[in-house]
């Protein structure tokens, strides 16, 4: 057993920091072969009176620690007490492993993370921060979609702690695992990769087989989280990802129909009207979706007309539909929001008016109207003030001019970073596209046909960030022109 431990501790070598990626790759291949030759008992049996995990540093010897931990978890499948003890080791591993080393044992890393997620979900006070930390330690962008993304969000929703999935949900996806191109040289796992899809592939083991339904479900569950947290802009983005999801032969998914229903409702909540359809939507798919969501369109139409009587009637008639769709609470919120938007519409005509007139317009008692206006002002939905009178009806509602909030430096910095990230993702997508067989064949045909083609295809669409301090000069030049 001491020889086995010595083998486990034989990597990394003392000169690991000076190794080139190729030399690191050779040393790692040799090391993994040695580990594979170790007997199964070497990973689970104690050395003297110590557990193997006590003799290995998860930060330095990540591969043997991961393998030993996973083997012990499997061996203790029916021993709950022992599994809870191993969970402590797993949490230590999640926060300290070497992200480069684990690229060589993707399947084991995935299995361990799924087990940790399931174990944490069964605790009295679940905390998934260890899992999100591990995911971001492996891939700081969390931008390559894996089945672990979906697994984590499911568990967070199941236990009623949706906000714990935000560290992953807040990261934008830019790639899905694909097989490396056959005729291209594969990137070395030990190389410093700008984006994670270079090492998270269909062969790496970091994910189970992906299906389009998995992606749609991830976005739909993510939208549920953002709706619950009232981040409607982010929820809209997720729902539109689903609505715009491409499909063969213009087939419509049930998840797209569900997403569209929520998209209509949160549009009414957010802006008092339906958002315009994304320009890139599939006309045939959208036609199919609209035919299946007519009650929601009718509800939205009455909302936009501010017809509260017809709106109330539609809500009552479709009560069973909203309940079956799981949208009853959202529809109720939309109904309450109608009163708010009817008040906001008055701001377009009046600068001030008695609360009694507002009450008559809304068909609500003056005292109820006063209370409702106060709640709207406190919640930030209404930029106004109410001057008290002798009676609730004598009070006066005064609308305040809308103020345009200027973007703060931090917001501008955040937007700049998003643009730079997007450019990096687009360049990576271009690179991967150029390695596909279809692209190569198209280029060959274009070359045989000659250079005559659309000049737009020959344009340089790359973008370089301006040098520090030159952004304002550029704006001045544009204005001067």
Q: What is the CATH number of the domain that holds 340?
A: 1.10.10.10
Rounded CA-CA distance 35/25 in Å is 15
340-372 pLDDT, tens digit each: 999 999 988 899 999 999 999 888 888 888 888
CB-based burial, 445-481: b 16+ in 10 Å, e otherwise = eeeeeeeeeeeeeeeeeeeeeeeeeeeeeeeeeeeee
The answer to whether residues 43 and 146 belong to one domain is yes
The number of folded domains in the chain is 3
**Confidence at residue 471, expressed as pLDDT on a 0 to 100 scale:** 44
- Walking along the chain (481 residues) 10 residues at a time, the average pLDDT comes out as 89 93 95 95 92 96 97 94 96 97 97 98 95 97 96 97 97 91 78 90 95 96 97 96 90 95 97 93 94 96 93 94 96 93 91 90 88 89 86 85 65 79 75 65 71 46 49 40 36
The answer to whether residues 28 and 171 belong to one domain is yes
202-256 pLDDT, tens digit each: 999 999 999 999 999 999 999 999 999 999 999 999 999 999 998 888 899 999 9
Rounded CA-CA distance 260/3 in Å is 61
Residue 451 lies in a domain: no
Residue after which a domain boundary falls, among 372, 399, 426: 399
Residue 172 has what DSSP assignment?
P
Residue 439 lies in a domain: no
Which contacts of 304-311 are long-range, i.e. CB under 8 A and separated by 24 or more positions? 304/268, 304/272, 304/273, 304/274, 306/338, 306/341, 306/342, 306/345, 308/338, 308/339, 308/342, 308/362, 308/363, 311/335, 311/338
Residues 6+ apart with CB under 8 A from 1: 42, 45, 47
Per this entry, what is the length of the chain?
481
Residue 35 lies in a domain: yes
Residue 117 lies in a domain: yes
Residues 6+ apart with CB under 8 A from 383: 377, 399, 400, 401, 402, 403
Contact of 92 with 56, CB cutoff 8 Å: no
Both tokens of 265, joined, read: 């409702």
Task: Give, to the nearest 10 degrees, the angle between helix 129-138 and helix 147-158.
Answer: 160
Query: CA 53, 56, 58, 61 torsion: positive or negative?
Result: negative
The answer to whether residues 265 and 157 belong to one domain is no
Residue 459 lies in a domain: no
Chain center to CA of 451: 42
**Confidence at residue 19, expressed as pLDDT on a 0 to 100 scale:** 93
**Confidence at residue 433, expressed as pLDDT on a 0 to 100 scale:** 67
Domain that holds residue 334: 319-399
**Residue of 130, 88, 136, 89 whose CA lies nearest to 113:** 130
Rounded CA-CA distance 437/420 in Å is 29
The answer to whether residues 72 and 144 belong to one domain is yes
The answer to whether residues 251 and 289 belong to one domain is yes
The answer to whether residues 206 and 220 belong to one domain is no
The answer to whether residues 205 and 290 belong to one domain is no
The answer to whether residues 314 and 184 belong to one domain is no
The answer to whether residues 179 and 230 belong to one domain is no
Residues 6+ apart with CB under 8 A from 462: 423, 427
Rounded CA-CA distance 110/90 in Å is 12
* Longest CA–CA separation in the chain, Å: 91
Residue 463 lies in a domain: no
The answer to whether residues 303 and 202 belong to one domain is no
Residue 99 lies in a domain: yes
Both tokens of 254, joined, read: 């049930």
Residue 405 lies in a domain: no
The answer to whether residues 30 and 115 belong to one domain is yes
Chain center to CA of 392: 47
The pairing of beta strand 396-399 with beta strand 384-387: antiparallel
Residue after which a domain boundary falls, among 179, 210, 241: 210
The answer to whether residues 202 and 221 belong to one domain is no
Residue after which a domain boundary falls, among 189, 210, 231: 210
Rounded CA-CA distance 160/121 in Å is 10
């Amino acid at each position: 057993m001491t020889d086995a431990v010595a083998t486990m501790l034989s990597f990394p070598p003392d000169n690991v920091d000076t190794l080139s990626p190729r030399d690191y790759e050779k040393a790692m291949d040799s090391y993994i072969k040695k580990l594979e030759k170790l007997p199964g008992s070497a990973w689970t049996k104690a050395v003297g009176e110590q557990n193997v995990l006590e003799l290995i540093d998860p930060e330095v010897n990540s591969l043997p620690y991961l393998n030993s931990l996973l083997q012990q978890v499997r061996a203790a499948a029916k021993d709950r007490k022992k599994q809870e003890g191993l969970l402590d080791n797993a949490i230590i591993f999640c926060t300290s492993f070497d992200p480069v080393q684990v690229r060589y044992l993707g399947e084991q890393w995935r299995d361990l993370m799924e087990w940790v997620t399931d174990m944490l979900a069964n605790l009295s006070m679940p905390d998934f921060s260890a899992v999100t930390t591990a995911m971001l330690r492996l891939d700081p962008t969390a931008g390559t979609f894996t089945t672990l993304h979906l697994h984590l969000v499911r568990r967070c929703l199941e236990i009623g702690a949706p906000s714990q999935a935000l560290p992953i949900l807040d990261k934008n996806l830019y790639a899905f695992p694909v097989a490396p191109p056959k005729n291209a040289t594969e990137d070395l796992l030990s190389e410093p990769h700008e984006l994670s899809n270079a090492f998270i592939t269909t062969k790496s083991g970091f994910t189970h087989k992906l299906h389009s339904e998995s992606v749609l479900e991830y976005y739909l569950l993510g939208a549920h989280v953002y709706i619950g947290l009232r981040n409607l802009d982010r929820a809209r983005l997720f729902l539109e990802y689903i609505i715009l999801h491409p499909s063969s032969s213009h087939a419509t998914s049930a998840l797209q129909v569900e997403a569209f229903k929520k998209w209509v409702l949160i549009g009414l909540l957010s802006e008092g009207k339906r958002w315009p359809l994304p320009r890139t939507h599939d006309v045939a798919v959208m036609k199919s979706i609209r035919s299946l969501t007519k009650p929601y369109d009718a509800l939205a139409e009455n909302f936009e007309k501010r017809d509260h009587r017809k709106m109330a009637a539609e809500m009552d008639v479709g009560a069973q539909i909203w309940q079956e769709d799981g949208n009853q609470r959202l529809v109720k919120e939309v109904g309450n929001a109608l009163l708010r938007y009817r008040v906001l519409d008055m701001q377009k005509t009046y600068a001030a008016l008695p609360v009694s007139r507002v009450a008559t317009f809304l068909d609500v008692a003056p005292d109820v109207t006063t209370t409702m206006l106060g709640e709207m002002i406190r919640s930030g939905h209404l930029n106004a003030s109410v001057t008290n009178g002798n009676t609730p009806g004598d009070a006066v509602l005064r609308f305040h001019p809308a103020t345009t909030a200027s973007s703060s430096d931090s917001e501008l910095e955040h937007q700049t970073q998003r643009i730079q990230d997007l450019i990096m993702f687009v360049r990576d997508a271009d690179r991967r596209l150029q390695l596909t067989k279809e692209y190569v064949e198209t280029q060959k045909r274009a070359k045989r046909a000659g250079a005559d083609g659309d000049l737009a295809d020959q344009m340089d669409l790359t973008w370089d960030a301006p040098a520090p301090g030159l952004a304002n000069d550029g704006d001045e030049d544009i204005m001067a022109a």
